[in-house]
Amino acid sequence: MAVSGPSFALLDAIRRATAAAPDGQRLLQQLQARELVEPWCLDSGLLLHGSRIFVPDHGDLRHQVLLLAHAAGHEGTQKTLHRLRAEFYIPRDRALMRDLVRSYTTCQRNKTEAL
C-alpha cells in the first residue's frame, strides 16, 4: 500500500534541496523564528509536516517523488495520492499528480470511462 520506502539517495537529495531551494529555506527560517508551528519540525535535515517529508520545489525532485508513488501501482490519481501522502508532503500535490497521470498514455489507455 505505501510507497516502498524512499532510497537513501532520494532522502539525501531532499535534504540538500531543502537547504538550497527558496521554499525550503523560507520554511526553515520560519521554523527557526518559531513562526512555523506544529505539525512542522526538522529532523536529521528533513523538514517534516507531521510524519511526512516536505519535498521542496527544486529541479525535478518533486517529479521524481511523484513518479516513485505512481510507479508503485499505476492506479490513477486518487490511489496514487494516497500512496504519496503516506510519506511525503508536496504543496498542490493533487494538481501535480493529476497532470502526471494524464501525461501517461498507458494510464489513459487503460482508464475506464466514467458514466
What are the structural domains, with CATH classification, of the chain?
8-110 (1.10.340.70)
Percent over 90 (pLDDT), the chain:
62
Q: pTM for this structure?
A: 0.83
Number of other CB atoms surrounding residue 74 within 10 Å: 13
Tell me the C-alpha distance between 109 and 35, whole Å. 47
Comparison of pLDDT for 25 and 4, the residue scoring more: 25
The pLDDT value recorded for residue 95 is: 92
Q: What is the pLDDT of residues 65-104, one digit of tens each?
A: 998 888 877 677 788 899 999 999 999 999 998 888 788 7
- Edge-to-edge strand ranges of the sheet holding 46-49: 40-43, 46-49, 52-54, 88-89
Mean pLDDT to the nearest integer, 42-56: 96
Comparison of pLDDT for 85 and 115, the residue scoring more: 85
Find, among 77, 65, 64, 68, the residue nearest to 107 by Cα: 77
